[in-house]
Chains A and B, each alone.
Chain A
Amino acid sequence: MMKLIAGELSKLAKRRMTWILVVVMVVYFAIILFATYGVVSSPPERMSPEIIAQIRASLQFPGAFDTIFSTARTILTLLVIILVASSIGNEYGWGSIRQILSRRGIRYQFVVSKLISLIFYALIGLVLALVTGFVLVLIIANMLDPVTWDFLDAGYIGSMAEIFGWTLFTLLPYIALTAFFAFLGRSAIAGIGGGLGFYFIEAILVTIFNQSGGWLAEIPAYLIGPNIDALVPVSLFTQGPFGSSGDPPSVLHASITLAIYCVVLTGASLAMFEKRDIVLQ
């Protein structure tokens, strides 16, 4: 199993697409943060001073940490979907899955090694995203006011570590979901379509359900997006693709719900992959 994981990590590192995704992430951060700075430095006439102050605070520490984490979560979710889908789907497209399985024969190892290596890459991606965001915000914050660090103490750093852990955790359901679709459709397109499709359609449904009231308004508490919002900060500009997902569930509810998604989707992928034939061309 360790050999497979090492092989997966090495393959992803040597793949150009991985580095392109890193560049996309950096560019996304730069666009979001400098666009926000543009709003603060020359605000539109109709914008209220309260809103401007709120936006300004999102670019200054300690409020900027929420901006960094939520921006990282948003872009990483999308990039992780692409990475997972292509990492699994292309094994079918290139026929390399046959090379691997005709040497190992233990199918669950293939699925597990894929998921572990992709989670590891999500972790690296998160670290890179936070470093990128921190550096950019530091530049911008210094342009607004001198940065002070007097809010930093052991308790604050501990809470940052906790948010870091939750942010990584919130990527896991999308990794499991995209992997499931990639295995189901045996292609990268199926994985990307399934992962991104779910991400956007779920956001639309959450908005509709929240506005419907009654029992329909209870449904979002069992979907992925609203539970993620309960665990990680949502900033002014980086909430879900179609706005806020409403009142978030409790942390306990959210973590259990997301864990169930991960377990069920991974279990389904394993069962499906174990059972299905790898047909030769």
Chain B
Amino acid sequence: MPAEPDLVVQARNLTKRFGKITAVDELNIEVHPGEVFGFLGPNGSGKSTTMGMLLGLIAPSSGTACVFGMDIRKHLPQILKRIGALTESTGFYPYLSGRDNLKYIAGITGGITGTRIDEVLELVDLKSRSGDPFSSYSLGMKQRLGIASALLSDPEFVILDEPTNGLDPAGMKEIRELITGLGQQGKTVFLNSHLLHEVQQVCGRVAIIKKGRVVTQGPVKELLNRGDCLQIRATQPDKAVEVLTGQEWIGSVAREGEKILLEVKTELASRVSAVLAAQDIYLIEMKARENTLEDLFLELTGEDAK
């Protein structure tokens, strides 16, 4: 199947095996231009291996991956010129200062001015400590330097692996805003994070992988707004549960303290109300329950996100 030039990333049946272990198993993902794409999965699910394949660090066992419509096996140098990546926080020389590390990267990349180095240091709030050795940096500062290096060449496509790792809440907020800003600038961001709340806030689309396979992929709003869950509070909760459990058009009934959760389409809300009213049970509250990415993640992967 020919690559679609309009897509930033198009992986087709991408597979990576390490001996007998299949780390990535026929993975299919698409990343569109200008979107912030979340890539989620439990530890060991194949996220980093996928990122490694997109960056040419790991050779796929089978399948194809195209970035900007070009096959990574054939056009890697051209592709990498348009990518900025944060692969891990410690990919720097400990004896060089933060600024010297960026200067080195700028030197091997080419076309990056000293002014640009100042700009990215300013952007990640590291300018005042840029002369200190990298070895003296805290985890959060190392992470900021990693983000600065990813943005150094002002790339069209930014790959970020756990960018808020080690940051305090204020730092995490800044990075979230930075990522959102990148999206608003028209850059494409591929965000690998286990912080589901963070992903939900900044990503337009996500893919969730489990054991190397994509279990779902799509716009966050669509994935979360499946409209099949109502949350109610009623005057006689025990009796309400009993009444609703007998209705075959309701998928499931669950009790969460005073709240009752119904697996039912939201357009049937009035029918729920009517059934309860017929039994002299009255609604105190009724609303469509919003799924969170964490709910979805747990449901699809059967694992704790953390």
From A15, A100, A104, B95 is in contact (CB under 8 Å) with A15
A278 and B105 form a contact (CB under 8 A): no
7 interchain pairs, CB-CB under 8 A: A3-B110, A95-B92, A102-B57, A102-B83, A279-B52, A280-B58, A280-B88
Contact of A101 among B56, B92, B149, B161 (CB under 8 A): B56
Partner of B57, one of A3, A14, A278: A278
Given contacts A280-B48, A280-B49, contact A7 B87 (CB under 8 A): no
Number of A residues contacting the other chain (C-beta, 8 Å)? 28
- Other-chain residue from A11, A99, A104, A277 in contact with B87 (beta carbon distance below 8 A): A99
Q: Is A144 an interface residue (CB 8 A)?
A: no
CB pair B95–A98 under 8 Å, yes or no, is no
Query: Chain B: interface residue count, which band?
Result: 20 to 34
Known A14-B96, A15-B95, A99-B105; further 7 A-B contacts with Cβ < 8 A: A7-B104, A7-B107, A16-B95, A98-B87, A102-B85, A106-B76, A277-B59
Q: List A contacts of B92 (CB < 8 A).
A: 94-96, 99
Interface pair B105/A101, CB less than 8 Å apart? no
Interface of B is mostly: mixed
Shortest Cβ distance from B249 into chain A, in angstroms?
49
**CB 8 Å contact bits of A82-106 with B (1 = contact, 0 = none):** 0000000000001111111111111
- B260 interface hit (Cβ, 8 Å): no
Minimum distance in angstroms from B77 CB to a CB of chain A: 4
A281 within 8 A of B: yes
Judged by a CB distance under 8 angstroms, whether A250 is at the interface is: no
- A11/B93 contact (C-beta < 8 A), A100-B108, A279-B58, A280-B87 known: yes
Interchain CB contact (< 8 A) of A94 among B48, B49, B90, B107: B90
B131 interface residue (CB < 8 Å to A): no
Give A10 to B104 CA distance when docked, in angstroms.
Answer: 8
Could you say which of B79, B85, B95 contacts A14, with CB atoms under 8 Å apart?
A: B95
Q: Is B88's CB under 8 angstroms from A4's CB?
A: no
**Nearest chain B CB to A95 CB, angstrom units:** 4
| Residue B296 interfacial (CB < 8 Å) | no
Q: Which of B52, B58, B108 has the most CB of A within 10 A?
A: B108
* B251 on interface, CB distance cutoff 8 Å: no
Q: Which of B52, B77, B95, B107 contacts A105 (CB 8 A)?
A: B77
Residue of A nearest to B77 (CB): A105
Contact check, B88 vs A105: say whether CB atoms are below 8 A apart.
Answer: no
Whether, in the assembled complex, A271 has its beta carbon less than 8 Å from a beta carbon of chain B, the answer is: no
Instruction: For chain B, residues 39 to 63, give those with C-beta under 8 angstroms from any C-beta of chain A.
Output: 48-49, 51-52, 55-59
CB distance from A75 to the nearest CB of B (A): 24
How far does the Cβ of A138 sit from chain B's closest Cβ, in whole Å?
Answer: 35
* CB <8 Å contact, A11 and B110: no
| A5-59 interface with B by 8 A CB criterion | 6-7, 10-11, 14-16
| CB within 8 Å of B: which A241-281 residues | 275, 277-281
Alpha-carbon distance A252/B269, docked complex (angstroms): 94
| Highest count of chain B CB atoms <10 Å: which of A10, A103, A106 | A103
Residues from chain B with Cβ under 8 Å of A6 in the complex: 107
Residue B154 CB within 8 A of the other chain? no
> Given A14-B100, A280-B52, A281-B88, do A103 and B108 touch, yes or no (CB 8 Å)?
yes
* In the bound complex, CA of A223 to CA of B85 (Å): 45
Contact B56 A102 (CB under 8 A): yes
Given contacts A11-B96, A14-B100, A280-B161, contact A98 B110 (CB under 8 A): no
Residues of the A chain whose Cβ atoms lie less than 8 Å from the Cβ of B104 = 7, 10-11
9 pairs of A and B residues whose beta carbons are closest in the complex: A105-B76, A95-B91, A278-B57, A280-B48, A105-B77, A99-B91, A277-B58, A102-B55, A105-B80
